[in-house]
Structure 1
């Protein structure tokens, strides 16, 4: 049986390489927009395929993770996800691109659920918070992916070769890690979704996840466009890279920060960092304020999802896998509504105005989280 530290290392490896993969896709969105000559509204309609496909995969992925050990759905979804990345990079017609994006989102849903189930189950064997470091590794992978894209853009490396190489790397790393993942983690109870009145505890966590998803998903999909078209910098990955760098750094620091100030105060700090960062980038759309603003947004969003997932794992009503599946539904809803809506608002007004939506969503994390701790969480559980 693999030691928990070895399992932690290999789960972390998959978090990292999936971060590289997702950032490689997200960093190339401006290229896709230019290659297919899309306006902001058309790009918003294209991006809406991501959450729609994730919604379609909801019953399938939730059933897989609760029915089998989480590592089996994980490796299958990794392979199909890598294939869809190749398809996106090599699509020269809109129907093929739509298929590639849909398949990428469908498998990302199952992949993320399986991987976070592994992380939450391993977290139960540690006294200190390790889930934040897993998400930090995902963000660190995002930094590497964005930096690599920046380098490849400088050398005019085409998207086809770029995404093909990333797909092969993902399959190789995940295949290497697979034998060392947690086995036999199928829960004995709490696997069935109870239809009826939502569980208030999970509902509050879901609302926080929804607001965070609006902000995170929006930054993934629109940060490159914002730096290219509003800030007008030729290397449009600067904004995404800055956002991911500060998100990753503060995910690694989140355990120490939470230990000192508690989750309740950390949610409040996160909300105000997001609000301040977006306000700065919108009011002063220059390269310096844009970078500072996106750094603050990265700091603000860093620990919201890891904290929320960790709290979901403490549900008394559902197993870890089912609780995460429900929370992820709220996350997908945020991605369904947020990034596409940005495209429509931008087309009607401008991109700066549309970013106000992110500011509102980020601020709402504050009152919802305070209500959560007031109603459901004992002060001793604050850390």
Structure 2
């Protein structure tokens, strides 16, 4: 995708408005994504299903996302990011109340597919917008955008939990968050990129190749790491370190906190040291954090280790999105969804792979494998595409 014409030689006030709109959309996406997590126990209780069935149902969310990602990239090249983000927001706002209220398994399947489709489409379109806005600004901005997504996740999960604690039903909480998501979109809409520029000969979908395959593989590892912390940190702290179940979630909380802070402050770091050095240092720091989790038996060391993993991973994916906007091997409209799809595959498949390794060996061995992969990310830092501007 070529840069939106509205980004060429525009007054500074317009460029600043587009940057703010991008931040708002990342915040809205994080807010809506996090809304689902506190609703999961309520959905399970309404449908009276076991953990195995719930796990299969949750795959629908990822499935919906992976289907729409390449479509969103192709359509954004033709009609612009604004239209794709508008459609994705509509899907999310329709799906959230259903996730909070449906009491039949087929309806929950449909709601998860729609919600996943909306999240996948908005993920691709907002990152295409972010690449173009960052490129036009001439300075590092991607970490800050992704930091707003992380912040939105914290705010969204906290807001839903607070509403439920105050006596709201799951449906009422979901409707409230859908309204917030819609309001944030309306706030950002006037300054989202409206013009699409179809790239000559660009296919609607293409398998990643060249530097995009490398970037996608690195994204896969970082998302796999995030998924392993999300799904396995509490179990590890409880079973291996003797942490009470009520406190075992502190591992992921430490990871999320340092990731959010790292991203919100990351633009200055990337500007000063460059993307390749940030990926190198980030991979090493994350690997050291995982080593601390595995090697030191004290649970406090485990929390510190997960905090280091979050800090190390925080700016790797934003740098990868900047890099995918610089490469020339694939059009932007196919490169972004290709890399994003590989990343989501890590988030979906990775935790299951960790489980297989843990079953065959043990959970510590699975985390050691993640450590090795993170060192591989660090080793590949020098191969990132350089700027083309």
Q: Does 1:204 align with 2:214?
A: yes
Q: CA deviation at 1:113?
A: 0.7
Contact 1:147-1:241 within 8 A present in 2 as well: no
Deviations 1:52-86 (A, max 9, x none): 32232244323322221111011111111122222
Of 213, 232, 237, the match for 2:223: 213
Q: Does 1:6 align with 2:21?
A: no
1:144 corresponding residue in structure 2: 155
1:80 corresponding residue in structure 2: 91
TM-score, length basis structure 2: 0.83
Q: CA deviation at 1:129?
A: 0.4
Q: Does 1:253 align with 2:250?
A: no
Contact 2:69-2:124 within 8 A present in 1 as well: no
Unaligned runs of 5+ in 2: 1-5, 7-12
CA distance in 1, matches of 2:185, 2:41: 28
Q: Does 1:314 align with 2:314?
A: no
Alignment of 1:34-113 (within 5 A): 36=48, 38-39=50-51, 42-113=53-124
1:191 corresponding residue in structure 2: 202
Deviations 1:195-221 (A, max 9, x none): 68x532112111111111212344455
Contact 1:132-1:252 within 8 A present in 2 as well: yes
Contact 1:142-1:244 within 8 A present in 2 as well: no
Contact 1:69-1:183 within 8 A present in 2 as well: yes
Q: CA deviation at 1:31?
A: 5.9
Alignment of 1:1-383 (within 5 A): 3-29=14-40, 36=48, 38-39=50-51, 42-149=53-160, 151-152=162-163, 155=166, 158-189=169-200, 191-192=202-203, 199-220=209-230, 231-234=243-246, 238-282=250-294, 288-342=300-354, 355-356=367-368, 358-370=370-382, 372-373=383-384, 377=386, 381=387
CA-atom RMSD in angstroms: 3.3
Contact 1:210-1:331 within 8 A present in 2 as well: yes
Bigger mean CA deviation after superposition, 343-352 or 301-310:
343-352
Contact 2:280-2:377 within 8 A present in 1 as well: yes
Q: CA deviation at 1:342?
A: 4.0
Q: CA deviation at 1:8?
A: 0.8
Q: CA deviation at 1:162?
A: 2.5
Contact 2:70-2:337 within 8 A present in 1 as well: no
CA distance in 2, matches of 1:228, 1:167: 35
Contact 2:74-2:333 within 8 A present in 1 as well: no
Q: Specify whether residues 165 and 195 from structure 1 end up closer, same or farther in structure 2 by C-alpha distance, changes over 3 A only.
A: closer
Q: Specify whether residues 137 and 100 from structure 1 end up closer, same or farther in structure 2 by C-alpha distance, changes over 3 A only.
A: same
CA distance in 1, matches of 2:41, 2:250: 13
**SS at structure 2 position matched to 1:92:** coil
Deviations 1:234-292 (A, max 9, x none): 26654443322211211122222223333222212211222233343455676633432
**SS at structure 2 position matched to 1:275:** helix
Equivalenced residues, count: 375
Q: Specify whether residues 341 and 53 from structure 1 end up closer, same or farther in structure 2 by C-alpha distance, changes over 3 A only.
A: farther
Deviations 1:326-376 (A, max 9, x none): 211221222232133345556777766655554344333123334x24xx5
CA distance in 2, matches of 1:204, 1:133: 23
